[in-house]
A and B are shown apart, each in its own frame.
Chain A
Amino acid sequence: MLEGDPPEFLVRGATGLSRAAGPDFKSIFTVSLDEPGVQAMAGTYRMDGNTLAFRPQFPLEPGVTYRAEFRLGDERARAVFAIPKPDVVPSTHVLNIYPTTSVLPENTLKLYIHFSAPIARGGAYRWIHLIDDTGAEVQLPFLELDEELWDPQFQRLTVLFDPGRIKRELVPNQEMGPPLVAGRTYTLVIDQGWPDVRGAPLREGAQKKFKVGPPDRVALDLKNWKVTAPNGATRQPVMLDFPEPIDQALLERLIAVTDASGQAVRGAVNLDRGETRWMFTPELAWRNGSYLLVIPSTLEDLAGNMVGRLFDVDTFDRVQQHITVETHTLAFTVAR
C-alpha cells in the first residue's frame, strides 16, 4: 500500500511482524525501481503498531514504476506502483538573448540566454548553434563546460565564446581562427527541443541574427560616458550613456548610486538602447544635492575590456600588484 504525503510504502496484516523481535527490515521488505536486478532504494524503515513503513529518501518520481516486496517466513507480498506523469504543455521560451545589439565585435566574449522558466541542466550546448552566412554551422565556437554557467534559478545561461580562439598570440587562435569573423553575418539558433526542468521542450525555438564588426581592443574610459541628471523632487531616472554596449549582467548589477553622505540610494536599474544606456529609478523622489555613480573597474564591455584595462594586454610588468577592485565615480547634481 502506498499512502501519505510524502508517500510511504506500507506493509499491513503480516502476522509475523509482531513476532519478529528487532528484525532487519531491509532483508524482509525492499522497495526498488520495477526493473530486474536493481538495488533497493535508499530510505528509512519504521514500525507503527503492526504496520511496517518504508519512507524513500527522496520524493517519488512521476513516470517511474516502483516495486515493493515483502518476505518474512511464509508470508509474502508484492506490489507494483506506477506514479502517473502529468502531461506537460510546452510553455517555456527564450525571453532575451544579450547582447541585444545587432552588431557584435569580433572578439565578443559572452552571450546571455534568458528563459521564462527553469531549464534542465545537462547537455546545454547541444541545443545552441552558431550558423554563418553560408548556412554552415561554426564548429566549437563556445567553451563547453560540463558545469554549465546557469544562474541560481536556472533561467539564464551564460555562454562563453572559446577564449582560446579570441585572444591574440594563442596557438589555438592561430590554428582555428576566431569563432566570429568581422564583416560576416551569423545567426545564433536555439533549438525548440531544449527541455525545461519539467521535461517539456520549449514552446518555440529562438534566433538572433547579428553582424560582426572589427575586434574591440579599447579599454572603457569614463571620459566618454555621459551622465544625465534627473530633476529634484521627481523619480526621473538618472541616465548614463556609453559609446558602446556594456555587458548586460555586470551593467545591471555593478553600478551603485550614493548620496553626498555616501549612503547607497535604493532603486531599480533598467537598460536601454542595446545596453548603451543605464537608467536608475530611485524608490523615493530625488532630493536636491550631489550624488555619485560608483563604478567598479570590473565592468566589462562585450569583449571583456574593463575600465582602464584591456582584456587582451601585456601585464607582464604589473605582476606585483595586489588584488584590488578599483572603483571610479561620476558625480551628478540634482536640482529643480
Chain B
Amino acid sequence: MKLHLSLLAMALAVTSTSAVLADDSLKAGKADLRSAGPMTFGPDGVLFVGDSMGAAVFALDTGDTTAMPGSAADIVAINKKVAALLGTSENQILINDLTVNPLSKRAYISVSRGRGPDAAAVIVRTAADGKLEMLGLDNIRHARVALPNAPDPNSKSAFGGSKRLDAITDIAFVDGKVIVAGLSNEEFSSNLRSIAYPFAAADRGTSIEIFHGSHGGFETNSPVRTFIPYKVKNQDVILAAYTCTPLVIFRTADLTPGNKVKGKTIAELGAGNRPLDMIAYSKGGSDFILMNNSSRGVMKLSVANLDSYAAITSPTDITGVPYETVKGLSGVKHLALLDNAHAVMLVDAGGSEDLKVASLP
C-alpha cells in the first residue's frame, strides 16, 4: 500500500535560557512523583519520567546498568500482575507508558494505582522469570525539574486555584536534552520543551513554538502527540506526530534560542486516528519507523532519504512514502525498542493487557 503524503513546509521559532551544567545533580531521597506518565531512558540507567500532575520531569537513577537475562519476555495479563503486586484490583490500575532500559533490556512501565487525583505514581519493571518488581522511589538518587505551569501574565493575581494542567504526552532524550511534549487542558497550543540535562535549578526548559503551514492557508500551533529523535545522514532530527496534522521532521540542532527550523511533513495520519509511539530501526540494510496507532494498526514506514523531499508550493502537491500495515499486530497501545531485532509491546487483548516481545517486522 502506498501512503499519499503531502509535504508541507514548516518552521519553528525558539526562545531559550541556556542551562548551566550541574554535575552530580542526582540527590538521594524520596522522589515525590504525583503521577508517572511518559518515560524514556537517558545515559547510565537514568530514567526520565514525565509527571503531569506535579508539572515536573524527574530523572531517576535506576542503578540498572547490567543486562538481566530473562527479563524481556511475554507476560500475559501484565495489568493483573501489576495489580497483584500493588495489592489492588485490576480496575484500579492504569498503565501509562512502557519503555525499555537499553542497558539491562528490562521493560519499565509507569502506572497509576487508583483512578482519582490521589492515585499513587508507581514504576514497575520486569525481572527474571516473568516476575515484576517496583522501582523503589522512597530513597533513590534523583533530580526534578519543574515545568512552568503556563505563560500566565496573571500569576500575581489571586483568582483562586487554577484548573489548568499540561498533560505530558511524550518525552525523549537526545544530545544532552530532555524534550517534553505537552497538551494543555485550556489553551489549544503547542507545548514542546527542551530541558538541558543534568537539570539546572533555574532552567525550566526551552519553550518551542511550532508553526507548520502551507501556502494553502492554514496555520497550526497544534500539540505534538508523540515524537522520536532520529538521524538523517548523520544529522539529528526529530520526527513529530501531531494531534491533528501529519508526521513532521525538524532538525534537533536548530532547537536553539532565536533560531528557526524548516521542516517537512512526511505522512498524513488522518482523523479518527492518533499515532501513539514510534521506534526506529534498521533491517536488511534499510531504515524503518514502526508506529502504533489508536485505530489504524501498526505502520511500518520506509524512511530512506527523508531529506530528499522538497517542500510543496501548493496544497495540491502530493508525493508518497511507502508504508505497510503490519499484519497480525492489533491493539498495540505502547511500543518500545528492545534491541536491534525486537520490540516490546503492550497489547490490549480484550480486557487483558499483555506484554509481548516481537521480532521487528
Contact = CB atoms under 8 A, between A and B. Distances in A.
A63 interface: yes
Interface string B4-43: 1010010111110000000000000000000001000000
B183 A145 contact: yes
B113 A163 contact: no
B244 A58 contact: no
A256 B165 CA distance: 20
Interface stretch (A37-45, A72-80, A206-214, A230-238): A37-45
Interface string B299-340: 000000000000000010000000000000000010000000
18 contacts: A139-B272, A148-B167, A152-B163, A152-B165, A158-B185, A163-B243, A170-B244, A172-B271, A197-B116, A253-B159, A256-B156, A266-B158, A313-B219, A316-B219, A318-B211, A319-B11, A319-B211, A320-B260
A87 interface: no
Contacts of A139: 272
- Chain B interface residue bracket vs A: 35 or more
Interface in B166-215: 167-169, 183-189, 207, 209, 211, 213-215
B164 interface: yes
Contacts of A247: 186
A256 B276 CA distance: 38
B319 to A, nearest CB: 13
B94 A160 contact: no
Given A151-B163, A162-B244, A164-B271, A58 B94 contact: no
A164 B113 CA distance: 33
B151 interface: yes
B294 A269 contact: no
Given A118-B116, A152-B163, A323-B209, A167 B270 contact: no
A171 B270 contact: yes
A144 B117 CA distance: 20
A58 B244 CA distance: 39
Contacts of B83: 33
B179 to A, nearest CB: 16
A267 B333 CA distance: 46
B167 A121 contact: no
A147 B154 contact: no
Contact of A154 (B117, B207, B243): B117
B271 A173 contact: yes
Interface string B235-254: 00000000111000000000
A314 B215 contact: yes
Interface in B76-114: 81, 83-89, 92, 94, 96, 112-113
A255 interface: yes
B116 A120 contact: yes
B63 interface: no
Contacts of B258: 322
B243 A167 contact: no
B81 A316 contact: no
B134 A298 contact: no
4 closest A-B pairs by beta carbon, nearest first, are A172-B271, A197-B116, A319-B11, A163-B244
A221 B161 CA distance: 28
A154 B154 CA distance: 23
Contact of B84 (A38, A254, A256): A38
A185 to B, nearest CB: 23
A145 B87 contact: no
Provide the main secondary structure of the chain B interface.
Answer: loop
- Chain A interface residue bracket vs B: 35 or more
Contacts of A121: 94, 112, 115-116, 119
Given A169-B216, A311-B188, 17 more contacts: A42-B133, A64-B87, A147-B52, A163-B222, A163-B244, A164-B244, A172-B244, A264-B154, A265-B157, A304-B188, A312-B219, A314-B213, A314-B216, A315-B213, A316-B219, A319-B11, A325-B153
Contact of B186 (A170, A250, A268): A250
A122 B188 CA distance: 22
A296 B164 contact: no
A256 B160 CA distance: 13
A158 B159 CA distance: 20
B315 A169 contact: yes
Contacts of A315: 211, 213, 219
Nearest to B158: A266
A176 B187 contact: no
A109 B207 CA distance: 23
Given A41-B86, A316-B214, A140 B271 contact: yes
A93 interface: no
Contacts of A102: none
A109 B113 CA distance: 32
Contacts of B64: none
B217 interface: yes
Interface string A233-276: 00000000000000101101111110000001111110000000
A313 B159 contact: no
A39 B165 contact: no
A264 B13 contact: no
A323 B94 CA distance: 36
Contacts of B315: 169
A152 B53 contact: yes
B116 to A, nearest CB: 3
Q: Most chain-B CB neighbours within 10 Å: which of A171, A269, A294, A322?
A: A171
Contacts of B243: 143, 145, 160, 163-164
B218 A153 contact: no
Q: Most chain-B CB neighbours within 10 Å: which of A31, A66, A154, A319?
A: A319
